[in-house]
Amino acid sequence: MKKFLRWGIGVIFCLLFLPTAQAALFPDVLPGSWYEEAVEEMTREGLLTGCDDGTFQPMREISGAEFVAITLRCTGQEFVLGEGHWASEALYYGRNAGWFDWDELPFDGSQWEACDRPISRQLAVKILMKALLPGTEYDFNRESQKISDFSSLSGRYYEPVLSAYAAGIARGDETGAFCPERGLTRAEACILFQRALARQERRPGTGEEIPSQTPSPEEPLQTQQGGAAENGWLQMKGVQLCNEAGDPIVLRGMSSHGLRWYGQFTNRQSIQNTAAFGANVFRVAMYTGEGGYLSQQQVMREKAYATVDAAIQNDLYVILDWHILSDGNPMTHVEEAEAFFAEAAARYADTPNVLYEICNEPNGNVSWAEDIKPYAQRLVSAIRAQSPKGVILIGSPTWSQDIHLAAADPVDGENLMYTLHFYAGTHGQDLRNRIDSAWAAGLPVFVSEWGTSRADGSGGVFLEESRVWLDHLEERGISWCNWSLCDKHETSAALKPGTAPDREWTEKDLTASGQFVFSQFKR
Ligand code: DCB
């Protein structure tokens, strides 16, 4: 009894393993937070309970003993309260099983301090992988490239950390850093456990098979929705678009048609109508050729700004799209583009809503290495001089389908994403595979334009094919804008001919394409 008191009081606040599976809500687990679901699920499954004062303490760094004890539970074994230390049985078990070495969590039967200190991320990942996903394969070059501070990782942890990256369990912070020596919060630990358990279920022989060669999508992401007021500045974490707080976010919404032709559907009411169906992004397609910006700069600039402002007023993220099409090589008008984006980026430098899409769809005789990459490098410099943080979207040859070229030779800079455009009646699995290869190479992808039609805007409507596409994007947390918000007599148009832009819309105003697409904003 004395022994019990010695370790039981003061040191251990958290009775993690009371044999209860009740889904208690903790007062300090914020409803709707990125970790709420993970904590609740693990609690429900009896893998953990809160602290004995009824809190969960999500932001406290987890100790080695706590981490090992939860790991033991996750392997399906019963947790037995130890003597000398509440987690001693679990610690002995873990060490014997080779989850960690003696010097990593030293204890000799009386000195337990080290086990009660915050565990490092590298050691936590090692224990997790050894216990739950031993033998997970990885490609050294591919995975190590994802980690910006790889040089600070000790060789001892290469295998567990790289395999955890390969399995989508460990991911870097906003700078791509893993921070091997840092601690991790109890909330972060929950997410790691959840990903590992979900991954375990999908292992060969235990359910859905994962082909070993194709990079698997990470676990279905818990993604944020909502607009800029709630989510703030966007940032990249590896390939994933995240909000200011660092939580994955998915943007879904509409692209305008050409401002010059269908500008009536870019007024405040039309954008509000689109947002009312759940969209959180709007794309402003400003054609450069075809009588667009290059022919009437002042008029088109003002129209584009007015549209961006209307989207901001509706709290949407908004993409300013330099819509090259008949002018297939962006280099042809690089100076006009630089001037346009320098001014726009200065105008919106303090506005987290705005993303810059610098070349809609390069096509024709245009090369990634000779034309688009140098163009993008110049535009990134021009925009960054004004807007240090705004996300920049970069196209590729063949109407922004050649992301494999960008993946092999990406542009220098931060917060850059690469656009992939598809039309469900024309493009299928081959193009979807490109997303996965690009991802494996660490290339962030944004589908800034897609349609339910064929690539010329007509044909179909191809809703089944569209659904397959959207599922593919959804599983990967990839954002999209649909072409297009207009009432033109073509399949890809979301509005029936004659729809009024200045009143509210119901489903009856939407075409077959529009009804499907508007129903997908909130998935
Ligand atoms: C893209 C363009 C976009 C175009 C749509 C549908 O082009 F970015 O501007 O929109 O896809 O084709 C169409 C409108 C029509 C309009 C026409 C010309 O829907 O109302 O008359 O632009 O302004 C693509 C995308 C992919 C491919 C080809 C094109 N592809 N393309 O894979 O072959 O030729 O425009």
Band (pLDDT 50/70/90 cuts) for residue 216 is very low
CA-CA distance, 472 to 30, in Å (whole number)? 30
Summarised one tens digit per residue, pLDDT across range 490-522 is: 999 999 999 999 999 999 999 999 999 999 998
Eight-class DSSP state of 109:
S
Q: What percent of the chain has pLDDT over 70?
A: 91
Residue 6: pLDDT above 80? Answer: no
Ligand 1, pocket-test mutation among 256, 324, 361, most atoms within 8 A of CB: 361
The angle formed by the CA atoms of residues 351, 352 and 355, to the nearest 5 degrees, is 100
State the pLDDT at residue 480.
Answer: 98
Cis peptide before 484 (omega within 30 of 0): yes
pLDDT score of 111? 82
CB neighbours of residue 129 within 10 Å: 25
Check 188, 449, 465, 474 and give the catalytic one. 449
Whole-number Å distance, alpha carbon 449 to ligand 1 midpoint, is: 10
Residue pLDDT, tens place only, 63-103? 999 999 999 999 988 888 888 899 999 998 998 888 998 88
DSSP states of 429-482: HHHHHHHHHHHHTT--EEEEEEESS-TTS-S---HHHHHHHHHHHHHTT--EEE
- pTM, 2 dp: 0.63
Name the residue with higher pLDDT: 110 or 289: 289
The Cα–Cα gap between 33 and 54 comes to 18
Could you write out the DSSP letters of every residue in 2-50?
HHHHHHHTTT----TT-S----PPPTTS-TT-TTHHHHHHHHHTTS---
The H-or-E segment that residue 183 falls in is none
pLDDT tier at 438, thresholds 50, 70, 90: very high
Judged against a pLDDT cut of 70, whether residue 431 lies above it is answered with yes
| Residues ≥6 apart with Cβ < 8 Å to 512 | 452, 461, 463
* Contact call for residues 196 and 133 (beta carbons, < 8 A): yes
CB hemisphere CA count around 431 (13 angstroms): 22
- Choosing from 290, 322, 324, 325 the residue with most ligand 1 atoms within 8 A of its CB, the one to mutate for a pocket test is 325
326 lines ligand 1 (CB under 6 A): no
CA of 361 to the centre of ligand 1 (A): 9
- Rounded Cα gap, residues 129 and 75, in angstroms: 11
As a whole number of angstroms, the distance between CA 65 and CA 62 comes to: 8
What is the percent of the chain where pLDDT is above 90? 69
Confidence (pLDDT) at 411: 97
Average pLDDT of span 111-117: 90
- pLDDT, position 204: 53
* Burial group, residue 185, by CB count within 10 angstroms (0-12, 13-18, 19+): middle
Question: Which pLDDT belongs to residue 16?
Answer: 47
Helix (H) and strand (E) counts in the chain: 20, 10
The CA 477 to ligand 1 mean position distance, Å, reads 25
